[in-house]
Amino acid sequence: MTEVANKVIIVTGGTGLVGQAIKAVVDKEEKDPNEKWIFLSSKDANLLEMEQTEAVFKKYQPTHVIHLAAMVGGLFRNLKYNLDFFRNNTLINDNVLHSAYKFKVKKVISCLSTCIFPDKTTYPINETMVHDGPPHESNFGYAYAKRMIDVQNKAYHQQHGCHFTSVIPTNIYGPHDNFNLEDAHVLPGLIHKTYLAEKNNEPLVIWGTGAPLRQFIYSHDLARLFIWVMRNYEEIDPIILSVGEEDEVSIKDVAELVVKSMDFKGKVIYDTSKSDGQFKKTASNAKLRKYLPDFKFTPIEEGIKESCDWFLKNYDIARK
């Protein structure tokens, strides 16, 4: 007789950057016979539709949900489509959380972002500051939609006793990222641009001054932390999943690591007519360190090299 898993975990957005990383870590390091993992893609359900969302919950009867699915994009796509980012993400989140409530899911972990924090704030930002003021105007649609998950988590807990929580990662990068030049976040965008500059024997043009500072977390590190949150984190309030403040690097530093990893020998130009976006959004990982004082993060040089190698090896299938 086959033993039935105690936990059935569905991962929305399961074929993206973080979903693929969780799958790789579960398969290689964190396999538990009492857990059945199901990684959903947009082919399984259109989460903008309540009927389709409920149908996928009915089909798999999850006990736990890691909610990664979202409409996402880089700075310039956000600037152009703030309304779409707000409406679509609000719909997706409402459908997923309400289906989880309806099907008596024990725990939901949703993924937020440091870009939801107030534009004008003190640093480092921490989990108590999410709603302290308006987000940066460049991506207010996405930011407000993501903030509402925190509001919904508290409301579902207060009204129905649901264990819905959220995590706030800093800039994520790694294999299976979105390398599309229009939609990509900064690091995968740099990797793809460097590849094309090398291939076409052209200068590498980087938008902005290169001065803004960011904390980057390697996707496999984030995957390990997601699994820990699913199994062990009992708070409703969010938790920031990030490298320390001391590991913050400039976009210029990151560009130089990409250039080195891809052995690019051409000229590098910074197009200062393009927007830099938010200069910094330094996050504190003090809360995470209280729980996991000894967690080891992948050094950024190593993570960027692995990401570049993956992109070169998988160029034909990479999202671009």
Residue 86: CATH number of its domain: 3.40.50.720
Concerning whether 270 is annotated as a catalytic residue, the answer is no
Two tokens, residue 214: 């960011």
State the pLDDT at residue 281. Answer: 83
Are 127 and 70 within 8 A, CB to CB?
Answer: no
**27 inside domain:** yes
pLDDT in tens, 16-60: 999 999 999 999 988 888 999 999 999 999 999 999 999 999 999
pTM score? 0.92
State the pLDDT at residue 274. Answer: 86
**204 inside domain:** no
**102 inside domain:** yes
DSSP string for 218-286: EHHHHHHHHHHHHHH---SS-EEE---GGG-EEHHHHHHHHHHHTT--S-EEEETTS----S---B--H
| Catalytic site residue from 123, 142, 144, 195 | 142
Q: Buried (b) or exposed (e) across 64-90, using 16+ Cβ within 10 A?
A: bbbbbbbbbbbbbbbeebbeebbebbb
Two tokens, residue 175: 């294999």
Nearest-angstrom CA–CA distance, 287 and 284? 8
Q: Is 173 helix (H, G, I), strand (E, B) or coil?
A: strand
Q: Is 205 helix (H, G, I), strand (E, B) or coil?
A: strand
Are 250 and 213 within 8 A, CB to CB?
Answer: yes
- One digit per residue, the tens of pLDDT, for the chain of length 320 reads 345 569 999 999 999 999 999 999 999 988 888 999 999 999 999 999 999 999 999 999 999 999 999 988 766 677 788 999 999 999 999 999 999 999 999 999 999 998 899 988 999 999 999 999 999 888 899 999 999 999 999 999 999 999 999 999 999 999 999 998 877 788 999 999 999 999 999 999 998 999 999 999 999 999 999 999 999 999 999 999 999 999 999 999 999 999 999 999 999 999 999 887 778 889 999 999 999 999 999 999 999 999 999 999 999 988 88
Query: What share of residues in the chain are helix, strand, coil (percent, to 5)?
Result: 45, 15, 40
**257 inside domain:** no
**105 inside domain:** yes
| Residue 161 belongs to domain spanning | 7-173+215-245+282-298
Are 287 and 227 within 8 A, CB to CB?
Answer: no
What domain count does the chain have?
1
**229 inside domain:** yes
Number of neighbours of residue 299 by Cβ within 10 angstroms = 12
**310 inside domain:** no
Are 40 and 95 within 8 A, CB to CB?
Answer: no
Q: Is 204 helix (H, G, I), strand (E, B) or coil?
A: strand
**194 inside domain:** no
For 291, phi then psi, to 5°, come to -80, -45
